Structure 1
Amino acid sequence: MAENKLLSLIVPVYNEEHVLSMFMKRVAEVLKTIPDIQAEYIFINDGSTDRTLENLIALKATYPQIKIIDFSRNFGKEAALTAGLQHAKGDITIPIDVDLQDPPELIAEMVVKWREGFDVVLAHRSNRDSDSFLKRFSAKWFYKLHNKISSPPMPDNVGDYRLMSRQVVDALNSLPESTRFMKGLFAWVGFKSTQIEYVREERAAGESKFNGWKLWNFALEGLTSFGTVPLRIWTYVGILVAGISFILTLKILIQVLFMGIDVPGYASLMVAVTFLGGLQLIGIGTLGEYLGRTYMESKNRPVFIIREIL
C-alpha cells in the first residue's frame, strides 16, 4: 500500500468572511478524489477587520485539519505567503486564493504532474476575460517589461497558484530577504517545472483587495527586485543627453562666431532646463527606489508578526 503524502494548502485571507465556507466545501470535495493524499489547511488571517477570524475558528470545528495563523495587523499577501511556507509541513505545498477564482479542481492534475517527477507545477491562465481590460493590459506589459530587464524571467499569466515540492519550499524558506516579491522568488529558485492550462473564474464572493495604486506599487517592487537594469539605463540616458548637448553647443558656436546668427535664448533655455531637470528627477527617483529597498532590508525587521496560532 502506498504511503499517504501530506499536502499543505496555503490560504491567505483578508476580509473574506463570505466565501470561507464555500471554499472549504469545494476544496474538501476535490481532495476526496485524490488517492494517497492527506491535507492540512493553513489559513493566514492578514489583519482582517470583519468576521473572517471568527468564521475560520467555527470552520475548524468541522475541519480539524485547519491551522489558523493570525497576524497582529495587515502585513500584505507576500508576508502571508511567507508565513504559510514557513509553517507548511507537507511533502507538497499549494498556495491558493480563497475567492475561488483559481479552481481547486486543478489540484488533482497538479498532483498527477508531481508524481510524474516535476518539482513545480504552474497553473497558467489561458484566458483572463474575468479581469478588467486595464488589468489584462497592464499585466501583459508588466510581464514583457519584467522579463526584458530582470533575471530569471517569470512565466507570464501565472499567479501564486502552483504546486511545489518539499525541496522547493525549503529553498524558498532559506532566502533571507525581508522585502519579498514572491512571484520572482518562485522563479528564482528554479527546479524542474511544468504547467497546466486553466480559465480563471469570477470571484465567488466579496471584492478584490488590490486597487490600481497597490498594483502599481506591486509592479515597481517586481521590476526593481531582480535586476539593476533600471539603474543602468540612466548611464546611457546621461551619455545620450550629454552627446546631444555637445552637438547643440557646437552648432550654436558656429552660428554665432562664423555665421553671425543671433540665437534667442529664453525659450530654448527653459525647454532645456526643464527637460534636463525632469530627467534628473526621474533618475533620482529610480535611485531612491533601490536605496529605499536597501534601507528597509538593513533594518532586518521580521516579515510579519504572529498574534496567535490556532
Structure 2
Amino acid sequence: MQFSFIVPIYNDGYLVQSFCEEFKKAFQNYIEKEEIENDVELIFVNDGSKDNSINLLIENSKTYKFVKVIDLSRNFGQHIALSCGYEKATGNFVGMLNVDQQEPPSQLPILIDYLIQNNFDIVFGTFEERKTSFLNKTTSKLFSIILNYLTQNNTPSNVTTSRVMNRKFVDAYNKLTEKSRYLPGLETWLGFKHGFTPIIHTERKIGKSSYNFKKRILMALDTIVSFSDFPLKLIVGIGIFVALIGFGLTFFLLISKMFITDYQPGYTTTVSLITFLGGIQIMVIGFASIYIGRILKEVQNRPLYIINETYNFK
C-alpha cells in the first residue's frame, strides 16, 4: 500500500459520503488510476459515536473499496483514535485529516509532493486565515499560544489538522507508550525533519464542530498536564512569591509596632490573607492530584483503546 489516511469520526458520519467522493476524485487524478484501492486506503475510526455514524460508515465501506472502518468500543478521544489508525495503517505515506472538508482532500497531494521533494519526514498544512467564527479564531489562537508556552512547543498557530508523514516517522510514533496523548507535542518530541506548506482552508459547509469552548478548555488542561511539568514549576514560583510577600508583611508589622504605632491587625486583613493563602494551597493540591492521577493511569497500563469491530480489513 502506498498511501494511508486516517479520519476520526464522532457523530459526523453524515459527512462521510460526500467526503469519500471528493477523496476518490482527488486520488484518481493524483495517481492517474480509475481504481485506487490497491494504492490508497482511507481508514475511518469511529470514536464511540452516539448517533448512526457507524452504520453510515459500514455502508460507505461497501460502496468504496478503498474505505476501511475501525469501530472503537467507546469514546477514547480524537488523538487516541488517530493513534489507533496510525497503528493499523499500512501505507508508505500516512496522513490525517478531518471529515468536515475545511481542508479538502484535494490538498493532500500538495502535502505529499512537498514531503517527497524536500525530503521531510512530516509535513503540516498551514492556512492564511481560519474560515470560522471570530470566537473560534480567537480561542484557537490563544489556545495555541498558551500551549506552546506551557509545553515548550513551537507549533505555528496557523497549522491545519491535515498532515502527511513517511513510514519512518509513523513507526517511531507507534513505539510511544504513554496513555495521555497530545499529537502536536509528541510530533515535536520525536524530532526528524518537519515541513510546512500552505493549503486551502474553507468554511464548514454542513453542521458544526463538536469542539465548543468548554471542550477546548478541558483539552487544554488535559494537554498541559499530559505533556509538561511546567505547571508544577509555576506553582513553586507562586509559592516563593507568596512566601516573600508574607515575609515582607511580617517585617512591616514588626517595624510598625516597634517604631510607629502599636499595630492592631484588623478583621479584613486577617480574612484576606487566610483566603488568599487557602486558595494557593487548594490550587497546589489540585495540580498535584491531577499529576498523581496521571501517574496512576500510566501505572495501570491499560490498553490505549479497545476495538469493537473492523470492516473491510483483510
Q: What is the distance in 1 between the residues matched to 2:285 and 2:161?
A: 32
Aligned to 1:203: 204
What secondary structure is seen at the aligned counterpart in 2 of 1:106? helix
Amino acid aligned to 1:11? V
Please tell me whether the aligned partners of residues 151 and 226 of structure 1 are also in contact (alpha carbons under 8 angstroms). Answer: no
Mark the CA change 1:178 to 1:262 in structure 2 (over 3 Å): closer, same or farther. Answer: closer
Q: Who is 2:107 aligned against?
A: 106
How far did 1:147 drift?
2.1
Identify the residue that residue 124 of structure 2 maps to in structure 1: 122
Q: Per the alignment, do residues 275 and 203 of structure 1 end up closer, same or farther by CA in structure 2, a change over 3 Å counting?
A: same
Contact 2:253 2:263 in 1 (8 A): no
TM-score after normalising by structure 1: 0.92
Per-residue CA deviation, residues 7-31 of structure 1 (Å, 9 max, x unaligned), is 1010111222321110000011011
Structure 1 counterpart of 2:93 = 92
How much has 1:77 moved relative to structure 2? 0.9
Amino acid at match of 2:138: F
Structure 1 residues 61-104: Cα deviation after superposition (integer angstroms, max 9, x where no partner): 22112111111122221121011000000000111111111111
Residue identity matched to 1:156 = S
Residue in 1 aligned with 2:224? 223
Confirm whether residue 151 of structure 1 aligns to residue 186 of structure 2. Answer: no
Asked whether the 8 Å contact 2:127–2:158 carries over to 1, the reply is yes
Match for residue 255 of structure 1? 256
What SS is found at the alignment partner of 1:18?
Answer: helix
- 3-state SS of paired residue (1:308): strand
Q: Confirm or deny: 8 A CA contact 2:181 2:223 kept in the other structure.
A: no
SS state at 1:19 partner? helix
Identity, in percent, stands at 36
* Matched residue, 2:175: 174
Tell me whether 57-66 or 32-41 shows the greater mean CA deviation: 32-41
**Aligned residues, how many?**
305
Structure 2 matches for 1:37-76, cutoff 5 A?
38-76=39-77
User: Residue 12 of structure 2 aligns to which amino acid in structure 1?
Assistant: E
Which string of whole-angstrom CA distances, capped at 9 and with x for unpartnered residues, describes residues 126-152 of structure 1? 211x22222222222222222223234
Bigger mean CA offset, 42-51 vs 270-279: 42-51
1:24 is matched with which residue? 20
- List runs of 5+ in structure 2 lacking aligned partners: none
Q: 1:10–1:96: 8 Å Cα contact kept in structure 2?
A: yes
Q: Counterparts of 2:82 and 2:126 in 1: how far apart (Å)?
A: 19
Q: Secondary structure at the match of 1:126?
A: coil
User: Are the counterparts in 2 of residues 252 and 263 from structure 1 also a CA contact under 8 Å?
Assistant: no
Task: Check 1:154–1:290 CA distance in 2 against 1; reply closer, same or farther (3 A cut).
Answer: farther
**Contact preservation (8 Å) 1:160, 1:183:** no
Q: Aligned AA for 1:198?
A: I
Whether the 8 Å CA contact 1:234–1:283 is kept in 2: the answer is yes
Deviation at 1:55, TM superposition (A): 1.8
State whether residues 114 and 197 of structure 2, in contact with CA within 8 Å, keep that contact through their aligned partners in structure 1. Answer: no
Gap runs ≥5 in structure 1: none
Q: Distance in 1 between matches of 2:45 and 2:4?
A: 13
| TM-score after normalising by structure 2 | 0.91
CA contact (8 A) 2:40 2:66 kept: yes
Closer, same or farther: CA 56–149 of 1 in aligned 2, 3 Å: closer
Confirm or deny: 8 A CA contact 1:92 1:163 kept in the other structure: yes
- Output the CA distance in 1 between the equivalents of 2:257 and 2:4: 76
